[in-house]
Structure 1
Amino acid sequence: MSALMLFLSFVVLIFLGVPIAFALGISSLVYIFTNDISLTVLAQKMYAGLNSFVLVAIPGFVLAGNLMNNGGISKRIVEFADAIVGFIKGGLAIANVVASMIFAGVSGTALADTASIGPIIIPAMVQQGYDPDFSAAVTAASSTVGPIIPPSVPMIIAGTLVGTSITKMFVAGMIPGILVGLLQMILCYYFAVKRNYPRSELNSLKQIWEKFKGAIWAILMPAIMIFGILGGFFTPTEASIVTVIYGLIVGLFVYKELQLKDIPRILVESIRSTAAIMVLVGFANTFAWILASEQIPQLIADSILSISDNPIVVILLVNLFLLFVGMFMETIAALIILFPVLLPVLTSVGMDPIQAGVMVVLNLVIGLNTPPVGVCLYVASNIAKISIARLTVAILPFIIANIVVLMLVSYIPHFTLFLPRLLFGM
Structure 2
Amino acid sequence: MTQHNEQMHLGAVIMATGNHVGGWRHPHARADGGHDLAFFQHLARSAEQARFDLLFFADSVGIRERGGPQSLRRSHHIAQLEPLTLLSALAVGTERIGLVATASTTYNEPYHIARKFASLDHISQGRAGWNAVTSFTDSEAVNFNREKHLAHDLRYARAEEFIAVVKGLWDSWDDDAFVRDKAEGIYVDTERLHYLHHRGEHFSVRGPLNVERTPQGHPVLFQAGASEDGQRLAARTADVVFSAADTLEQAVAFRRGLQRQVAEQGRDPLRVKVMPGVFVIVGETEEAAWQRSRELDALVHEDIGMAQLNSMIGVDLSAYPLGGPLPTLAHTQGHQSRQRLLLEKARREGLSIRQLYQLVANAFGHKILIGAPEQIADGLQQWFEAGAADGFNIMAPFFPGAFDDFARLVVPILQGRGLFRREYQGKTLRDHLGLERVQSRYANT
Q: Which structure has more helix as a fraction of its residues?
A: 1
Fold in common (TM above 0.5): no
Q: Which structure has more strand as a fraction of its residues?
A: 2
- TM-score of the two chains, using structure 2 as the length reference: 0.24
- TM-score of the two chains, using structure 1 as the length reference: 0.24
